[in-house]
Amino acid sequence: MQKSWVYILTNKNNTVFYTGDTSNIQKRMYQHNHKIYEGFAAKYNCEKLVFVQEFSEINQAIEYEKKIKSGNRSRKEKLINGQNPDWIDLSKDMILG
């Protein structure tokens, strides 16, 4: 089994959310922070990791990501506030290369 993560990124003003899943959170944050891929997160400068949840199986992560994406902004804010009430960038504690 390979660990997986579901995460929520926001921009510096906390006005936009990007939700994703990955099997390598450090590598994925490096990609986001260096805009390796064009897309929503790069376009809206979503580089601040404000929520992360670890799963033991990728299918669990995918289902949870879908659940988060189907929710409204208020629901996402509740998730973030429950884990990270100060909305600090959780990626600052990661070694991103």
Q: How confident is the model at residue 92 (pLDDT cuts 50, 70, 90)?
A: confident
Provide the domain count of the chain.
1
Q: How confident is the model at residue 76 (pLDDT cuts 50, 70, 90)?
A: very high
Instruction: Check residue 72 and give its pLDDT.
Output: 96
CATH number of the domain at 20, please.
3.40.1440.10
Structure tokens of 83?
């884990």
The chain-wide mean pLDDT, for the chain, equals: 93
Q: What is the enclosing helix (H) or strand (E) of 66?
A: helix 58-70
| Mean pLDDT, residues 25-47 | 93
Residue 97 has pLDDT above 60, yes or no: no
Instruction: Check residue 95 and give its pLDDT.
Output: 59
Domain enclosing residue 13, as ranges: 4-93
Instruction: Check residue 71 and give its pLDDT.
Output: 94
**How far is the CA of 90 from the CAs of 1, 20, 41, 80, 83, in angstroms?**
25, 15, 17, 11, 10
| Mean pLDDT, residues 3-8 | 96
β-bridge partners, 5: 22, 54
Residue 93 has pLDDT above 80, yes or no: no
Residue 27 has pLDDT above 90, yes or no: yes
Q: What is the enclosing helix (H) or strand (E) of 2?
A: none
